[in-house]
Amino acid sequence: MNSKMASSSSSFRRPRFSLLKPPPTDQGDNIRTYPGLLFFNAKHNPSHIFCLQGVREHDAAPIPITFAQTQLSVQRCMGWLAKNVKGIHSPQEANGKVEKAAAVGILMGSDVGIVIYMMALLSLGVPVVLLSARLTPVAIAHLLKSTSAGSVVVSQRCQRTASEAVASYGNGENIPNIYEPISYDRFLEDEEWDSLEIPPAYDVVDEMDRNVLILHSSGTTGLPKPIYHPHKYMLGYATCHLFGENDKVDGVNCSTLPLFHGFGLLSPSLALSVGKPFCIPPASTIPTATSTLSLLRLSNARSLMSVPSILEDLLYLPQSEGINALRTLDFVAVGGGPIKSTVGAALVEAGVKLLNHMGATEIGAIAPIFLPGPDYDWRYLLLRKDIGLRLEDPGDGRGLFKLIGKPFGWDQEFLVQDLLQCNPRAPESQFKILGRADDLIVLATGEKVLPRIMEMTVANDCKVKEAIAFGDGRFNIGLIVEASIDLDVKDEEQVSAYVEDIWHSVQAGNEFTDNHGKITSKGMIIVTTPSYKQLARTDKGSLTRKTIVQEFAEEIDAAYRKAEMEGIEAIPGPGEDIKTWLKAIVGNILKISHQDPTWSDSNDFFELGMDSLQATILRRKILASITKSGREFKELSPDFIFKHPTIDTLHALLSGNAPDSGRERAERMNEMVRKYVSNIKSLPAPTMTPTAIVLLTGSTGSLGSFLLAQLTALPHVGKVICLNRRINSLSSKDLHSRQEAALSRGGITIPPSSWEKIIIHEADLKTPSFGLSDSDYGSLRSVTHIIHNAWPMDFNRSLESFEPHFQATQNIISLALLANESNPQNKPRILFTSSVAAVGRYPALTGSTLIPEEPMHNAQVTDHFGYPEAKWVCEQLIEEAGIIHAGRIETASVRIGQLTGSESSGAWSPKEHFPSILKSSQTIGSLPDIKGTLSWIPVDRAARVAIELLFQSSPPDPVYHLENPMRQPWSDLLVLLSRALGLPSKTIPFEAWLDKVRSITDVEKNPAGKVVKFLEKEFTAMASGAVILDTRKARRVSRTLAGSGGIEPRHVNLYVKYWKSVGHLL
């Protein structure tokens, strides 16, 4: 424990040892193992009480066991094990290696016998698998197999479970032997064991040998996992305190915690290090408030270690007898799960010295035990400083921290899954647990909810015992609430009244939750009671979300069905006002008044701020209203909201007056072109400065960030004006921070000299003058070059939904014309970033794989979804503007192929379709077989090409292609990817892979499921070489493109490293 060492006192000589570095030879006691601690105490503190073991008889005093008695019991146990357990032997050297006996499992009820058997096996040098007596047979079998255990010592009450576990072994598997242990009291009392030969203790210690003590995870998210530890791990528990040399701490410490878990091992460990005897209940007793109160009295305990549920029950014992007992203690340590703030506050207010504790099985005890003073805030943890823990700010601005430690014997660091928040009054040392980072609920939309605060807020209601959220793979979350009052769960009126009573607590929890994680429907509250269906818990008293969700599956499904119809009105009939009805629904979802004069029936929902979750909610509400009406409607496609994203178009659809979606797909596209070309023709005619002033839209995107950085680095660029999407009237400081964050995501750093060239405006591109003030818009007239790069990456939206972007393109052209009124010599040049998908059907129409670098006027050349259709429309507008206003402005469109991440930082947005394919492939266990060739180009290289096209000395051609001219076989890339991802080199057919994608509903693990329509219809044609862009014109202008090489192994490794660093890949 760094410089702090266990020290001696008048009644107990503390052993002296250190965790991170050995003490000076004249100050240490050469203690390197847990049994070494016991041996020291048996020698120097033989008559000191080690343990007070509770007994079954009511009101009988616990049995005191000294260190000398414990050591004797351990030696007798060593003899018994060596004689009776097959395969037991001390480690042996062979071929230059140390070979140990097969691990031995301990599956026993929690009493001091666990300590004795564990000490005995460790003394023999035999690995110990410490098993929870509450594990299922399946979990036990899994752990025994995982650790290759040869034997397991099983107490009588665990025999049936162990037998079922062993029975599950298959033919050819090494079945472990089961042994019934000798009880601790027989080792203590019977002299018959003295005739046994006691093997010598094995005292050779390798600090990197983790095959010593094997604990396991709780298994709340599946089967428990074995976690291996060296000897020093247990010494870490023994040093988990802040007791000074002169502190009197030898009073009895009562613990209700099982000894087969980390928190439970803390009490015997403190007995070994500071002489604080521990008292535990008998193995046959399941601790309750009443039994704990009795044990406190019988042992004359001075402190208590327990779990939140027992402390809560002690708080509410009649006549305050629980409180009266607790307030006399030196400390009450609580851990194993969060304690309700109302319970903690009530205990502290009554004078209880509450001490918050936390641990992680991988690291051990994290918060030290000490005597809390008046300056200690019980809501926070005090972190240890003697085991190398450190805090890391993820940098996401939430003020939350990750806790990182390096477990003893590990080569790498371990990230504790709980998120922590600092105490503003003691930000360096005290922290609050907010919840496990992996305890997320992932909605069907892919959005994440961390439900801990919601659950704790509701659980703090005096009428609530516990609350746990559900909603994985659904579109919203709900709560299962365990009532703390008598309630007939099957009585709908009682349940409804109860939910009404606690609804204010749910609303309070909503205040701490993001919009997508709020509970807005009372129908999403499922009520239970302990007598009806109790919520499942782990051994440590924590709720097990996965098990609870499984056990309440029927109730959860029913809640979602009920919520679907809650508050739903039947769709108005023929001749009734459907528009008003629609505006009320949409307005409620978007939180816009349907009487708002700025909201017209032609406004696009997505431009008003609708996201995919809200679009899904709107779809479900409309479908539910149709169902409720009992009327027949023609079948609505799953994406009908995206195809009809205004009140007008939705009204037409539901009234049966919508145009045929197959109409005329090309005609609708051409109609958009005609509409905006006529506007361009009416734009006023304008009137090159040596220094370029560039207007850039979309500077916060991946390509836009590199365009900005590279533009500002050019000496002839005097200014770059960024028009960024309006977000809640950001201040100039916020706009700067937003741009900095975008650059940081791409691994880009811009020097101060370049920042001086940047001006950022918050703009609405679809409105005249971009929604800027007269002075700000007037300042744009000096622009000489425009890169119009802003575009939503949404493959679900329809052509009509992109109309605001046609308006934006028209406004960009208008600015280019206006920019030259005062300077006829200036001929602004517009570069529009288009997409290969805008001409993706050209090969199918013409039979030619190679797509010429020229305008395409046939609307059938685009891929069949809104994104490329809209790009094609803008290409026509840009081309027409250049023709109509030739000699005044210059225009060009650049069709861009597949961009990859930066070749310098590896940053590649995990939200794009290819990273999603890789994430899903990890879940599936194999990559898809993709035929043909690819032509990827890194985004920073593509930015250089675009800038070279922008600043070419000759007038630009109408169209350029930006794609890597060097094509590579997919088979080569898939080999590199399989190695980097640790996946089998053998791929599976793409269609078979897609079938697996369709079958997995968890979009967090299977993000490709969100773009499956695109993968089915467009991906293989676009990505496999069936569509090739001719780049001859672009290569003549751009040296970068002409010299562009292919994707190399270093690129693949860089991208995979980046995706792993941001948690996208495993």
Whole-number pLDDT of residue 603: 84
**How many other CB atoms are there within 10 angstroms of residue 631's CB atom?**
11
Whole-number pLDDT of residue 8: 31
Whole-number pLDDT of residue 792: 86
For 931-944, give the DSSP string: -SEE--EEHHHHHH
Query: Is 204 in contact with 123 (CB distance < 8 Å)?
Result: no
Structure tokens at 1024: 């496999």
Rounded Cα distance between 367 and 358, Å, is 6
For the chain, which residues score pLDDT lower than 50?
1-10, 220-221, 685-689, 728-729
**Distant-in-sequence, close-in-space partners of 610: CB < 8 Å, separation ≥ 6:** 589, 590, 618, 645
Tokens 């500002």 belong to 712
Residues listed for the chain: 1066
**Distant-in-sequence, close-in-space partners of 18: CB < 8 Å, separation ≥ 6:** 1, 2, 3, 5, 28
pLDDT tens across 211-263, in order? 999 999 875 445 789 999 999 999 999 999 999 888 888 899 999 999 998 89
Question: Shortest CA distance to 1001 belongs to which of 472, 334, 416, 491?
Answer: 472
Rounded Cα distance between 582 and 645, Å, is 12
Tokens 């460790």 belong to 122
Whole-number pLDDT of residue 45: 95
SS3 482: strand
Structure tokens at 828: 């602004």
Residue type, 59: D
Question: Shortest CA distance to 650 belongs to which of 680, 626, 682?
Answer: 626
Q: What's the DSSP call for residue 131?
A: -
Query: Is 585 in contact with 614 (CB distance < 8 Å)?
Result: no
Q: CA 918 → CA 243, 259, 622, 1052, 1065, distances in Å?
A: 52, 43, 35, 12, 8
C-alpha 486 chain-centroid distance: 37
Whole-number pLDDT of residue 821: 77
Query: Is 487 in contact with 567 (CB distance < 8 Å)?
Result: no
Query: Is 946 in contact with 897 (CB distance < 8 Å)?
Result: no
Rounded Cα distance between 459 and 302, Å, is 30
User: pTM of the full predicted structure?
Assistant: 0.52
Rounded Cα distance between 912 and 1064, Å, is 11
C-alpha atoms less than 13 angstroms from C-alpha of 1057 in its C-beta half-sphere: 11
Which runs of consecutive H residues, i.e. helices, occur in 566-683? 578-590, 612-629, 640-643, 647-654, 665-681
Helix 702-712 to helix 939-950 angle, to the nearest 10 degrees?
50
Q: What's the DSSP call for residue 714?
A: S
Rounded Cα distance between 786 and 770, Å, is 14
pLDDT tens across 252-298, in order? 999 999 999 889 999 999 999 999 999 999 998 888 888 999 999 99
Residue type, 637: S
Beta strands in 789-839, from DSSP E residues, in sequence order: 829-835
Which domains does the chain possess?
A: 68-235 (3.40.50.980), 441-565 (3.30.300.30), 578-658 (1.10.1200.10), 897-1066 (3.40.50.720)
Rounded Cα distance between 395 and 613, Å, is 26
Rounded Cα distance between 224 and 238, Å, is 26
> How do strand 1028-1029 and strand 850-851 relate by DSSP bridges?
parallel
**Distant-in-sequence, close-in-space partners of 1006: CB < 8 Å, separation ≥ 6:** 919, 920, 923, 924, 997, 1000
Residue 230, Cβ density class (10 Å: 0-12 exposed, 13-18 middle, ≥19 buried): buried
Rounded Cα distance between 833 and 961, Å, is 10
Tokens 């490709």 belong to 1008
Rounded Cα distance between 257 and 738, Å, is 49
Rounded Cα distance between 667 and 27, Å, is 90
Structure tokens at 1034: 């672009």
Whole-number pLDDT of residue 5: 33
Rounded Cα distance between 400 and 421, Å, is 5
> How do strand 525-528 and strand 692-697 relate by DSSP bridges?
unpaired
Helix 913-924 to helix 1049-1061 angle, to the nearest 10 degrees?
80
Whole-number pLDDT of residue 520: 81
Query: Is 391 in contact with 260 (CB distance < 8 Å)?
Result: no
Virtual torsion, Cα 864, 865, 870, 872, nearest 10 deg: -20
SS3 166: helix
Rounded Cα distance between 968 and 463, Å, is 65
Query: Is 1028 in contact with 935 (CB distance < 8 Å)?
Result: yes
Rounded Cα distance between 198 and 212, Å, is 21
**Distant-in-sequence, close-in-space partners of 1045: CB < 8 Å, separation ≥ 6:** 966
Structure tokens at 298: 């019988």
Q: Edge-to-edge strand order for the sheet containing 525-528?
A: 464-470, 478-483, 525-528
Query: Is 713 in contact with 754 (CB distance < 8 Å)?
Result: yes
